[in-house]
Amino acid sequence: MVAILVVLTITMCLLVDWSVQLIQARRARNRALAAPRNGPVFASNPFAVPRGLFFHPAHSWAQVEPTGDVRVGLDGLVGFLLGSIDRIQLPDPGQEIKAGDSIALLRQGSRELRLASPVDGRVVDINRELAPDGHFIRHEPYGAGWICEIRPDSLSKDLHNLMVGEDVTAWHAREARRIIKFLSHAKGNGNGSEDPTSEGLLLRGFMEGASDEEWRKFQEEFMEPRSGGSDRR
């Protein structure tokens, strides 16, 4: 009898936890979908962001699925700069991950960019349809270019540290100005003060011709998690 009560208690606890996760996922989706759309999402426009996504300061995005799992990818602003990729190293299904840990490696020759996970949890699926050259990541970053799905440990806590809606729009504008300044210094000219809302001022595929040192600096400057949650500088 005692054993049966223990099993029933454990089962009830699991059901309660599952219900809480679903409620959190539903609230998160409602919050994201209530955010204003930034316009249609075109592959050629690195500033266009679809409604319903949360963003990490290290340029990864998170989309809450109806199951409560979180789909993860690289944001279009960085994807716009990448150029061709030789190989993409995805996480292993079942892998435990912490927010800020590397969730994927994008390799070009001996150089790589590490993509940070926006949430804590366990990898439950990977995108096996990704082209090895990163085509989908560059051209469909919020669609076919997704990286993996994670079952989060604490969805509400993670989402609190991410950006959504107008915060993303403002952050992208700031990041674009920083990237333009970075590119200007890399090219040895300009002062980085141009209007970042014009995509022509960002160089599509710039990283393909960047030096090893420029890749290293780009990783440190734009792809490393920053302390203190979402970047609202």
Q: Tell me the pLDDT tens digit for each residue of 16-62.
A: 444 444 444 444 444 444 433 333 333 457 777 888 899 999 999 99
Specify the pLDDT at position 41.
Answer: 39
Whole-angstrom distance, CA of residue 151 vs CA of residue 103: 13
Check: CB of residue 225 under 8 Å from CB of residue 58: yes
Whole-angstrom distance, CA of residue 63 vs CA of residue 142: 9
Which residues, 6+ apart, have CB-to-CB distance to 39 below 8 Å? 45, 48
Read off the pLDDT of residues 152-194 as tens digits, 9 standing for 90 and up: 999 999 999 999 999 998 999 899 889 888 888 776 644 444 5
Specify the pLDDT at position 4.
Answer: 55
Which strand (E) or helix (H) includes residue 6?
A: helix 2-33
Specify the pLDDT at position 213.
Answer: 92
Specify the pLDDT at position 1.
Answer: 58
Could you tell me which of 106, 91, 173 has the C-alpha nearest to residue 141? 106
* Residue 145 falls in which region: left (phi positive, over 0), alpha (psi -120 to 50) or beta: alpha
Residues in the chain, total: 233
Tell if the pTM clears 0.85, that is, is over it. no
Better-scored residue on pLDDT, 5 or 49: 49
pLDDT at 90 over 60: yes
Better-scored residue on pLDDT, 129 or 11: 129
Check: CB of residue 112 under 8 Å from CB of residue 106: yes
Average predicted confidence (pLDDT) for the chain:
78
Check: CB of residue 49 under 8 Å from CB of residue 74: no
Helix, strand or coil for residue 85? Answer: coil
Specify the pLDDT at position 200.
Answer: 52
What domains, with CATH codes, occur in the chain? 2-167 (2.40.50.100)
Cite the DSSP H helix spans in 34-114.
Answer: 76-82
- What is the edge-to-edge ordering of all strands in the sheet holding 96-97? 54-55, 60-64, 70-74, 148-152, 121-126, 96-97
Read off the pLDDT of residues 188-211 as tens digits, 9 standing for 90 and up: 644 444 554 455 567 788 888 888
Pairing of strands 60-64, 54-55: antiparallel
CB atoms within 10 A of CB 186: 18
Whole-angstrom distance, CA of residue 142 vs CA of residue 61: 8
